[in-house]
Chains A and B, each alone.
Chain A
Amino acid sequence: GAVVSQHPSWVICKSGTSVKIECRSLDFQATTMFWYRQFPKQSLMLMATSNEGSKATYEQGVEKDKFLINHASLTLSTLTVTSAHPEDSSFYICSAKETSWHEQFFGPGTRLTVL
């Protein structure tokens, strides 16, 4: 199957700082990338969908100015959590697919802890 990497795997930061998470497709062209958030013992929650070269489409309730998404190439998307607060602590997971695919391939996730 296709491989998606995420970096970093985990990050601890102070409240008020910004954190950038990278999502890369290693062996395919990710025309569409998805960013999810998952709180403990809860299901995946889609935050936004991004198509390469276009602005991301955010789900209702997700602040686009707080969660900045950039999908500038067919292999890389970034999620920046700006002015992070403890309530932003969560497991952030990206997934990616090519245009003709139904299946999304998931990255390993990034665990963010904001102190």
Chain B
Amino acid sequence: GQNIDQPTEMTATEGAIVQINCTYQTSGFNGLFWYQQHAGEAPTFLSYNVLDGLEEKGRFSSFLSRSKGYSYLLLKELQMKDSASYLCAAIDSNYQLIWGAGTKLIIKP
């Protein structure tokens, strides 16, 4: 079956760095997304990786290893507004999105 695993919840301190991991098993693979979702709001796009390596966008970076079925989202210089759920989603061979359950990130002062 197809599956996405990510931690349920993480806690970090304002100004610090946090890494949210995601492992996936899909039938075929056409890329992986990270989305941010604040409580009561719809998800917003953060990144898309289809090739191995690190993609950096300001304070957020996303890494992919296709051979290991692994990705992570790295958040630097954490701010209180980064408190949200972070959703990992992989695209399978049918171009369907397989969603993880999300990681709730709690930022403490």
Contacts and interface: CB of A to CB of B under 8 A. Distances in A.
A104 B42 contact: no
Interface stretch (B16-24, B60-68, B75-83, B94-102): B94-102
A87 to B, nearest CB: 20
A44 B87 contact: yes
B48 A107 contact: no
B16 to A, nearest CB: 25
What range describes how many residues of A lie at the interface?
10 to 19
Contacts of B101: 42-43
A1 B44 CA distance: 10
A2 to B, nearest CB: 10
Contacts of A102: 30-31, 33, 48, 50, 91, 95
Most buried by B among A104, A107, A111: A104
What range describes how many residues of B lie at the interface?
20 to 34
A17 B59 CA distance: 46
Contacts of B100: 43
B30 A109 contact: no
Contacts of A109: 41-42
B48 A103 contact: yes
A44 B45 contact: no
Interface in B15-73: 30-31, 33, 35, 40-45, 48, 50
Most buried by A among B43, B50, B95, B99: B43
Contact of A106 (B42, B50, B96, B102): B42
B97 A104 contact: yes
A1 B99 contact: no
A43 B99 contact: yes
Contacts of A42: 101
A67 interface: no
A46 B97 contact: yes
A44 B102 CA distance: 9
13 contacts: A42-B101, A43-B100, A46-B99, A102-B91, A102-B95, A103-B45, A104-B97, A106-B42, A106-B44, A107-B42, A108-B41, A109-B42, A111-B40
